[in-house]
Amino acid sequence: EEETDRVSRRFAGQEQVRISRGVASETGLPDSTATKVVCNGVFILLDDAQILPSLEEIVRISKTGARVFIGELPHCDENAHITYGSSISKWLFWVLKHQGLNEFIRRLKQTLNALVSKEPFIITTKTLYYCSREAFVRKASSRGLSLIRTFPHQSMGPDGRIIESRTRQDYIFKVEK
């Protein structure tokens, strides 16, 4: 809900953009209507059984030739080294140990702010979907998507610098019907 609200505010008043919430494998959108599909940070939250139906849904709702962006898909298990479980205090100490004092203070402020305000604090599962680049491209190709380009995911750090991910890939596909 928070993500949908944030994106809806950003694109408010732009008629050519439709923001909707749904399940990746059952969007409820009509056949062959989308010219562009953006799934950023979506596939990472799916399990292996949901991947192919979600790719099929993307192809179903897309026009032939549509561009599809699938972002932030890890190609390795990013959580293999994490030992804090679901404890917020253990997570904060893990941040201190692995990311330093500045990041610890930033995350502590974020946590305290969420406790005393309406600011959302999202705690996600520690089990994230990951797939090698080659295997994901094969899965997408098997459902009618042809790869245009893949590249490391980029995000903005707290200081405004662009950080290139060592574990997450972004993909651009073309729908082939």
Burial of 3-33, coded b for 16+ CB within 10 Å and e otherwise, reads: eeeeeeeeeeeeeeeeeeeeebbebebeeee
Report helix angle 133-142 to 48-61, nearest 10: 50
Distance, in Å, from the CA atom of 144 to the CA atom of 136, rounded to the nearest integer, reads 13
Q: How many residues does the chain have?
A: 177
The more confident residue out of 99 and 85 is 99
Residue type, 21: R
| Distance separating alpha carbons of residues 133 and 74, to the nearest angstrom | 9
**C-alpha 18: how far from chain center:** 18
**pLDDT tens, residue by residue, 99-125:** 889 989 989 998 998 889 877 776 655
Q: Looking at the DSSP assignment, which residues form a beta bridge with residue 155?
A: 163
Q: Give the pLDDT confidence of 22-40 residue by residue, as tens digits.
A: 788 999 899 999 999 999 8
List of residues 6+ apart from 50 with CB closer than 8 A: 24, 25
Minimum mean pLDDT range among 61-65, 71-75, 94-98: 94-98
How much is the pLDDT for 18? 76
Sequence-separated (6 or more) residues with CB below 8 Å from residue 104: 92, 95, 96
